[in-house]
Structure formats: structure tokens, C-alpha cells
Amino acid sequence: MKKILALLLAVVMMLSIGVGCTPKEDAEAPADAETPAEEDASLQAVLDKGYIILGLDDTFAPMGFRDENNEIVGFDIDLAKEVAERLGVELRLQPIEWDSKVLELQSGNIDMIWNGLTITEERKENINFSKPYFNDRQVIIVLNESPVNTKADLEGTQVGVQIESTAAAAVEADAEFAATLEEVVQYSSFNEVYMGVQSGILDAMVVDELSGRYAIGKNPGIFRVLEDTYGDEQIGIGFRKGEDALRDKIDEILDEMAQDGSGAAISEKWFGEDVFSR
């Protein structure tokens, strides 16, 4: 009997030791590795669908606007056409409301904003910018016969800008100047600002210099540019945040166009000089 009890006790002890030595897999298993970042398929998505959608304000000459045949043309349009051809996809042009450009981009209605888009720190919060492709600045334009010659002469007057433009931001940032004005009038389109000055509703407008001088060249004797200007700025293409692959490929093509002279040729066509810069 004692032998049987001793044998049973030994078995129980062995089972207890076995249980105590069983590995605790849950407690000792290494933590799962971090989930890898989602792959950037932005370039491949464009290549797969065979087209890229460019969003623009179609009143912003000479960057992108409608000609006498209602076709969208312009400096940016010609650059984008060349890029799309080298990328091997169709370029589709989508007119948008300029003050909704970020929403249009983020919602996927367009693949990029390419329309004289100034690179700013504020815009970088929502837009993934390309490298700049030309430099610009904001200028003040008045009628040729206007008595206004300086910013100071605009005290008590009405000055027009486009909504959500860098011109609007420049005037707002120049609080001392803005405070002297009767009103800063904001319009939804670039053409409305010009028409406001030409009709006498506005006393002046603040616009991008290149587009302003282009308009003056098309309307000789009507407008002139004041010597007072706002600081230099750089122009780039806007993509969705995280879509570096598409941005980098288009940057690569634009670099090629700078090297082979095609960018300069497009610039000469629209401005009579080479403003294309990489």
C-alpha cells in the first residue's frame, strides 16, 4: 500500500513540475512588428487608369484660360501636356473654383493643382508641393490714366483681389496698407478682378506679376504696374499629401525639360523670355 501511495505521489509531483515548466507563449512572445506604412501607389494609379486630371481656374491667363475657341490653353497647360506625353498618359483638364482647390484635391476629383500655384507655408499644411518651376511676385495694377503712383496713393480706395489667392493673402498680411483702404474687394475669378479695374469699379488690383504683365501686353495702353511690389514667391504644382511617387516622377520630367530646352521653348511662347526655372 505504501508503495502504491509513494508511486502516486511521484506522479503528481512530476505533473506539477511539468505544468510549472510549460512556456507562457502569450507573455513571452515578442510584440508584433509595427504595421508597415501603406505603399505609395499614386504614380502607378495614374499609369493604370491612363490619364491624369489637372485642376485649374480657367480664367487665369496666361497660366490656364479659355481662348477664342473656348479651348483651355496656357503656359501651365503646355507644360502639363508635355509632361503627360512623356508620362504616357492623357491629360484631362478640370476647371474648379479656386477657393475650393484643396477640397477638390483631397476628395480625389483632381490629381494635381497646376495653375500658377504659389508655394506658401500655410498651403504646405494641406498640399504636397513639387519643386518650384518659376519665380513670381505680387504687383499692383491700375488704369493707365489713374493718378495713383504708389501704395500710399491708394488710401481710401477699393482694391480687388481673387478669393483664396496669394494676392489676397499679401494684402491681408500688409495690415498697415490694408487699414488705409476703403475696402478690399474679393472676386471668385481672375477675370472679374480685371473687369472691375477696367470698368472703374475698382481703383487697383493686386495680382501675380507674370499674369498681370501678360494682360497688360494683351491690352496695351489700358493698364500699368506700380513700382511698389510684394516679396518674391515661388510657383509649384500641388499634389495630395503622401503622394510622393507621382510628385517625384513629374519633378523628374520637368528637370528633363529644363535640360533639353523644351521648358524654355514653352516659356518663350507665352512670355517672350525664359522664366522656366528648376
> Has residue 118 been placed in a domain?
yes
Domain of residue 218, residue span = 137-233
pTM confidence score: 0.79
What is the tally of structural domains in the chain? 2
Based on the fold, state whether residues 189 and 163 are members of the same structural domain.
yes
Of residues 90 and 191, more confidence is placed in 90
Based on the fold, state whether residues 83 and 208 are members of the same structural domain.
no
Based on the fold, state whether residues 122 and 141 are members of the same structural domain.
no
Long-range contacts for 220-224 (Cβ within 8 Å, ≥24 apart)? Answer: 221/144, 222/143, 222/144, 222/198, 223/141, 223/142, 223/143, 223/144, 223/197, 223/198, 224/141, 224/142, 224/143, 224/144, 224/146
Based on the fold, state whether residues 48 and 122 are members of the same structural domain.
yes
Q: How many residues are there in the chain? A: 278
Residue 196 has pLDDT above 70, yes or no: yes
Q: What is the CATH number of the domain that holds 207?
A: 3.40.190.10
- pLDDT, residue 34, reads 46
Residue 96 has pLDDT above 80, yes or no: yes
- Check if the beta carbon of residue 207 is closer than 8 Å to that of residue 139: yes
> Has residue 171 been placed in a domain?
yes
In one-letter notation, the amino acid at residue 164 is E
Q: Return mean pLDDT, the chain.
A: 89
* pLDDT tens figures, 35-77: 455 799 999 999 999 999 999 999 999 999 999 999 999 999 9
- pLDDT, residue 37, reads 57
> Has residue 13 been placed in a domain?
no
> Has residue 22 been placed in a domain?
no
Residues 6+ apart with CB under 8 A from 144: 221, 222, 223, 224
Average pLDDT over residues 90-110: 97
Based on the fold, state whether residues 75 and 154 are members of the same structural domain.
no
Based on the fold, state whether residues 222 and 170 are members of the same structural domain.
yes
- Cα 276 to Cα 77, 102, 232, 261: the distances in Å are 14, 25, 15, 10
Residue 20 has pLDDT above 50, yes or no: no
3-state secondary structure of 97: coil
Based on the fold, state whether residues 50 and 126 are members of the same structural domain.
yes
> Has residue 126 been placed in a domain?
yes
Alpha-carbon span 238 to 98, nearest angstrom: 13
Average pLDDT over residues 132-149: 96
